[in-house]
Structure 1
Amino acid sequence: MSTGRVAAVSRNTTYAFSKPNHPSVRLLAGLGVEGDVHAGETIRHRFRMTYEPDLPNLRQVHLMHEELFEELALKDYEVSAGQLGENITTRGVDLLALPTSTLLHLGDDAVIEVTGLRTPCSKINDFRTGLLGEMFALDPHSAEFTFTCGVMAVVRRSGAVHPNDPIEIELPARPHRALERL
């Protein structure tokens, strides 16, 4: 297992693009982040709830790598933890390179399973004009465009998560399956 760390944790009780940072969040198995509007067994994404309300919620927890904010700053976009709607901001974990079904052990108890890539929405441009275009990159292996704005996960084991908690990565058995958009 390799390790990284939690840089920040965020949640919001209402539907809003950004999520305020908190000293800790509690992850609930099968549901998501306690007190977050996206927690639930079935899909909680506002648009998708209108036409697929009974689908399992594979987007219980949104993770984004803090290194993305540094890349965006080089292009004059100031972004910080929680502002793009993520629940857990990471440091030292190449989230986008993880295979589907990777387990992330967060802090002392919590375990989440990576389910796919976050699909960026047009609201990113409402937050910062032109930022949506920065959420795509050319995949050097496939020569296709991929998303760069984090990954989604489901909670497998409940637990509290705090900034500076360690993240241990447990890869699934081979063959690995690349992340797909959710």
Structure 2
Amino acid sequence: MSGHVTAVSSNGEYSFAKPNRDSVTLLAGLGVEGDVHAGVTVRHRSRVAQDPTQPNLRQVHLIHEELLAEVREAGFEVAPGALGENITTRGIDLLGLPTGTLLHIGDRAVVEVTGLRNPCVQIDRFRAGLLKRMVGRDAAGVVVRKAGIMSVVREGGVVRPGDLIRTELPAQPHRPLRKV
């Protein structure tokens, strides 16, 4: 399975949205260079308040552009980076990947998928009613989170819009994504 990067975003300050960039540099074990969420331990404020020594399993946030198109059809204008993601993708079923999948991005960068982003109330503060589009239930009543996936950087490198993304699945048995 392969796809490509459509946008890259980062922000050195705590803010819901992240401005688009020409490129971002991923740093092994840390995240996006200059991004407020980069680090070995948790950087998301709610998680820091719980336990600042937790490992940072949310170094790089990826969202599929197909989700942005879906919410646009429902009347919500959401541009790449607006939901705080670092990498916007096209052509990969991010939500269907198992935990531990490696995403080879561009020439060198590799991120390991750690889990699902848990959509929060900040999404509704950004656009009232949007949170309902980011989380729902399937036919069996199971909660479905659609706000992207989280990952850690295994190999650093520069990532740009247009870069190819190649998936490398982990050994069986595959573990489904859980919120991180």
TM exceeds 0.5?
yes
Rounded Cα–Cα distance in structure 1 between residues aligned with 2:50 and 2:30? 20
Unpaired runs of at least 5, structure 1: none
Which residue in 1 is equivalent to 2:147? 149
Which residue in 1 is equivalent to 2:157? 159
Rounded Cα–Cα distance in structure 2 between residues aligned with 1:149 and 1:30? 23
Partner SS state of residue 42, structure 1: coil
Rounded Cα–Cα distance in structure 2 between residues aligned with 1:85 and 1:59? 12
Letter of the 2:30 partner, please give it.
Answer: L
Rounded Cα–Cα distance in structure 2 between residues aligned with 1:111 and 1:25? 13
Which residue in 2 is equivalent to 1:174? 172
Cα shift at 1:48: 1.1
Cα shift at 1:137: 3.2
Letter of the 2:91 partner, please give it.
Answer: G
Superposed CA deviations along residues 9-34 of structure 1, whole A, max 9, x for unmatched, are 00000000000000000000000000
Which residue in 2 is equivalent to 1:101? 100
Partner SS state of residue 130, structure 1: coil
Rounded Cα–Cα distance in structure 1 between residues aligned with 2:95 and 2:43? 23
Cα shift at 1:143: 3.7
Please say if 1:81 is aligned against 2:80.
yes
Letter of the 2:153 partner, please give it.
Answer: V
Question: How do 1:103-142 residues align onto structure 2 when only pairs under 5 Å count?
Answer: 103-139=102-138
Superposed CA deviations along residues 114-140 of structure 1, whole A, max 9, x for unmatched, are 000000110111100011111113345
Which residue in 2 is equivalent to 1:21? 20
CA root-mean-square deviation: 0.9
Letter of the 1:170 partner, please give it.
Answer: E
Tell which deviates more after alignment, 46-55 or 150-159.
Answer: 46-55
Q: Percent identical across equivalent pairs?
A: 59
Which residue in 2 is equivalent to 1:72? 71
Rounded Cα–Cα distance in structure 2 between residues aligned with 1:143 and 1:128? 25
Tell me the TM-score normalized by structure 1: 0.97
Tell which deviates more after alignment, 143-152 or 20-29.
Answer: 143-152
Q: How many residues align?
A: 180
Tell which deviates more after alignment, 44-53 or 165-174.
Answer: 44-53
4+ runs deviating over 3 angstroms? none
Rounded Cα–Cα distance in structure 2 between residues aligned with 1:15 and 1:101? 28
Rounded Cα–Cα distance in structure 2 between residues aligned with 1:165 and 1:73? 24
Partner SS state of residue 67, structure 1: helix
Rounded Cα–Cα distance in structure 2 between residues aligned with 1:139 and 1:112? 28
Cα shift at 1:74: 1.1
